[in-house]
Amino acid sequence: MLQNEKIIETNICRHCGSNFDITDKDLEFYKKISPVFPNPKRPVSLKETGLNWEKSPDSFFESGFKNLWNGKVKYLIPPPTLCPDCRQQRRLSFRNERKLYKRKCDFSGKDIISIYSPDKPYKVYEQKIWWGDKWEATDYGKDFDFGRWFFEQFESILLNVPRINLYVDKTCENCNFTNQITHCKNSYLIISCAESENCLYGKRVNNSIGCIDCFLANQCKYCYEWIDIFSCFNCFYIIKSISCKDCYFIYDCDWCSNCILSTNLKNKSFYIENIKYTPEEYKRRKEEIFKQNSIFYIKEKFEQIIKIAIQKNLNIKNCENVLGDFVQNSKNSFFVFDWENIENIKYAQFIQDTDNSYDLDYSCCNSSLSYEISTWWVNMFHCLFSIDIWPEAKNCYYCDSCISSSYLFWCIWLRNKSYCILNKQYTKEEYEKLVPKIIEHMMTPPKSPSIEGESWAIVKQGEQEWWEFFPSSLSPFGYNETVAQEYYPINPPVLRDIPLIKGDSQNGVEAGGFYYIDREWNTYNTLEEAWKRPVFKYSTYEAPFPKVEKIIPASKLPENIADIPDDILNWAIECEVTKKPFRIIKEELAFYRKHNLPIPRRHPDQRHLDRMSLRNPRHLYTRNCDKCGKEIQTTYAPERPEIVYCEECYNKEIY
């Protein structure tokens, strides 16, 4: 909780059962973002909705709406029913970043790369066709049926409106096997990147050149295997460092050059294991280290060195009244991770240049006043319960992948549109008259428990659809294909007797399809079978592996790159962890040879998970500073063995 906030109530999460607090500032925010429409003849009453929020008579949430006495009504968004973690898990279950597949364009029949596996029932178009004028998303528009529930109606549109195969904009060149990128060139399997060139296997790598196997970097050149770095050059195996050059295996080092196996250094040169050497001694010792030891041995040693480094409780710079990790130039924000230039934000990750919003993932650039959004970019205003809204959008509610649009309600894949409902075009007057009626319909719980929708399975008797994010059962992806699996892993055993939704059930994997799974790894064939359990789809599709001359176990690879033949480009390597085969591409092999690096032993997906495991979980714990003993907030759990200092003690020790 931030300063000057008061806890009003403590609620129990409907899904995980944990307690979470609602403060006075939270209630102010929910009131502020609640949408306003012209006053219909008679707003729905509390008695008709069947709601009982147990508020005081003067609470603005009590009736579900507020008459503004200016000819308009505010349809109120009450406090959430899920805890922050469960809300984020639900949002992230709609975001597939790294799982890319070969399939056919459903318009041209051309072979394409897509985030949608070929077993999925959706229409998928290649970039050129999707952005062209040969189809129109409003042609799929439908009238709202007040005899059916909304999530049920929206699902039919999800199945029919064509989707774009990848999020790779027109500014990119030779970046076919990538996703969520802009202004990039000659890159392969990079995700959520901008202004980068000749990069491979990275996520959130911006303004960088020639970098491989990386996560979270900006303005870097010719670096390999790194996490959380800025403005580094020719560095290998480095973590949480700034403006370093010609370094190997360093952690939490800033403005350093020619350092090896060192931690917590600032403005140093020619250090090995935190010991100063002359340039001549450093050169001799460096040659000895890399001649006498394999990279894999040095990497294991580096991992042990990190464990005894001094850790700062939170990585916060130039902030006021902020609680989170890896945050800078921000104020008045709580439970925020990996962002900069933000104000009045709660429960968010990977955000920049955003203000006055809650529950966001992946947002940037002059965006404001929004709630429960997964991915939105550039000049966004007042968007609610939506996915992939970009750019220049405002007042979009319950939308999926709408571009440069405004005043949309329950729409998908629209471009440059306004005043649409279920992809059908209306006049401004028609829109403002119909949306309140639909909201009232959504506020009224069903009388029978048979409609797909809220609660991730089906809408039950006594529940409603208004003000809840999309149920995960509507995600076009399996949970194991999404970012949710990285932060909230669910790893069920392989099931051999579960009939798939489509296709053959042999071994439960080969034919594709999906089943449903809950947090406890229980499985279900249908949503009705799951009943009250919150569930996710779980994909069983396995992409066929390309034909290769042979598959070689990783353990059989020579450690010396000089002993690797050109023919390796025609082989597959069996991952030492997952046993999943992977290939080396030409540009990658050239990089390893140039920098005398060994061929990786692990699949790119496993290497990504390895990097993720080196970052702390998005959770705040209370523990004591290991130097002065005062109570601190940190992402290091109290039982973890790392040495964690408060900011004051860290600065005294390191600088």
Amino acid residing at 484: A
Residues 108 and 85 in one domain: no
Number of H helices, E strands in the chain: 13, 39
Residues 131 and 151 in one domain: yes
Domain boundary among 90, 123, 154: 90
- Helix pair angle (150-160, 428-443), 10° resolution: 120
Query: Which pLDDT score, from 0 to 100, does residue 571 have?
Result: 95
pLDDT tens digits, one per residue of 204-240: 999 999 999 999 999 999 999 999 999 999 999 999 9
Do 246 and 236 touch, CB atoms closer than 8 A? no
- Phi, psi of 624, deg, nearest 5: -110, 145
pTM: 0.91
Identify whether 152 is part of a domain. yes
Range of lowest pLDDT (228-242, 410-424, 428-442, 531-545): 531-545
- Helix pair angle (295-307, 279-292), 10° resolution: 110
Range of lowest pLDDT (295-299, 500-504, 550-554): 500-504
The per-residue DSSP string of 329-373 comes to EEEEEEEEEEEEEEEEEEEEEEEEEEEEEEEEEEEEEEEES-EEE
Confidence band, pLDDT 50/70/90 cuts, at residue 463: low
Query: Which pLDDT score, from 0 to 100, does residue 516 have?
Result: 86
Residue in 558, 560, 562, 594 with CA at minimum distance from that of residue 573: 558
Identify whether 588 is part of a domain. yes
Identify whether 134 is part of a domain. yes
| Secondary structure string (H, E, C) spanning 95-164 | CCCCCCEEEECCCCCCEEEECCCCCCCCCEECHHHHHCCCCCHHHHCCCCCCCCCHHHHHHHHHHHCCEE
Range of lowest pLDDT (52-56, 519-523, 650-654): 52-56
Do 88 and 373 touch, CB atoms closer than 8 A? no
pLDDT tens digits, one per residue of 423-457: 999 999 999 999 999 988 888 765 544 333 333 33
Handedness of CA 632, 633, 636, 639 (dihedral sign): positive
Arithmetic mean of pLDDT, 47-63:
43
- Residue 649 reports pLDDT greater than 90: yes
Query: Which pLDDT score, from 0 to 100, does residue 455 have?
Result: 34
In the block, tokens 């071994």 appear at 507
Identify whether 199 is part of a domain. no
Query: Which pLDDT score, from 0 to 100, does residue 156 have?
Result: 86
Arithmetic mean of pLDDT, 67-75:
88
Higher pLDDT, 499 or 15: 15
Residues 107 and 136 in one domain: yes
Query: Which pLDDT score, from 0 to 100, does residue 530 have?
Result: 77
Residues 105 and 48 in one domain: no
Identify whether 408 is part of a domain. no
Confidence band, pLDDT 50/70/90 cuts, at residue 338: very high
Residues 259 and 292 in one domain: yes
Residues 628 and 581 in one domain: no
Do 545 and 583 touch, CB atoms closer than 8 A? no
- Residue 302 reports pLDDT greater than 50: yes
Do 392 and 381 touch, CB atoms closer than 8 A? no
How far apart, in whole angstroms, are the C-alpha atoms of residue 412 and residue 265? Answer: 50
- Phi, psi of 364, deg, nearest 5: -155, 160
- Residue 256 reports pLDDT greater than 60: yes
Identify whether 112 is part of a domain. yes
- Residue 62 reports pLDDT greater than 60: no
Q: What is the mean pLDDT of the chain?
A: 89
Confidence band, pLDDT 50/70/90 cuts, at residue 468: confident
Do 370 and 30 touch, CB atoms closer than 8 A? no
Query: Which pLDDT score, from 0 to 100, does residue 504 have?
Result: 43
Arithmetic mean of pLDDT, 369-375:
95
Vertex 417: Cα angle to 391 and 191 (nearest 5): 30
Structural domains in the chain (count): 5
Residues 84 and 126 in one domain: no
Query: Which pLDDT score, from 0 to 100, does residue 369 have?
Result: 95
Residues 75 and 132 in one domain: no
Confidence band, pLDDT 50/70/90 cuts, at residue 53: very low
- Residue 461 reports pLDDT greater than 70: no
For the chain, the C-alpha Rg in angstroms (whole number) is 26
Domain boundary among 64, 90, 116: 90
Confidence band, pLDDT 50/70/90 cuts, at residue 70: confident
Identify whether 215 is part of a domain. no
What is the extent of the structural domain holding 576? 551-613
Query: Which pLDDT score, from 0 to 100, does residue 65 have?
Result: 80
Residues 142 and 65 in one domain: no
Residues 601 and 637 in one domain: no
Residues 627 and 585 in one domain: no
- Residue 494 reports pLDDT greater than 80: no
Confidence band, pLDDT 50/70/90 cuts, at residue 39: confident
Residues 20 and 56 in one domain: yes
How far apart, in whole angstroms, are the C-alpha atoms of residue 194 and residue 217? Answer: 11
Percent of the chain whose predicted confidence (pLDDT) is above 90: 76
Do 653 and 318 touch, CB atoms closer than 8 A? no
**Tokens found for residue 574:** 């069996």
Arithmetic mean of pLDDT, 461-466:
57
- Residue 48 reports pLDDT greater than 60: no
pLDDT tens digits, one per residue of 586-622: 999 999 999 999 999 999 999 999 999 999 999 999 9
Residue 266 is classified by DSSP as B
- Residue 377 reports pLDDT greater than 60: yes
Arithmetic mean of pLDDT, 270-282:
98
Domain boundary among 142, 167, 192: 167
Torsion, CA 74, CA 75, CA 78, CA 81, rounded to 10: -160
Identify whether 19 is part of a domain. yes
The per-residue DSSP string of 496-555 comes to SS---SSS--GGGTTT--EEEE-TT--EESSHHHHTTS--EEEE---PPPPP-S-EEEGG
Amino acid residing at 103: R
How far apart, in whole angstroms, are the C-alpha atoms of residue 569 and residue 551? Answer: 11
Residue in 525, 532, 516 with CA at minimum distance from that of residue 461: 532
In the block, tokens 């800033």 appear at 254
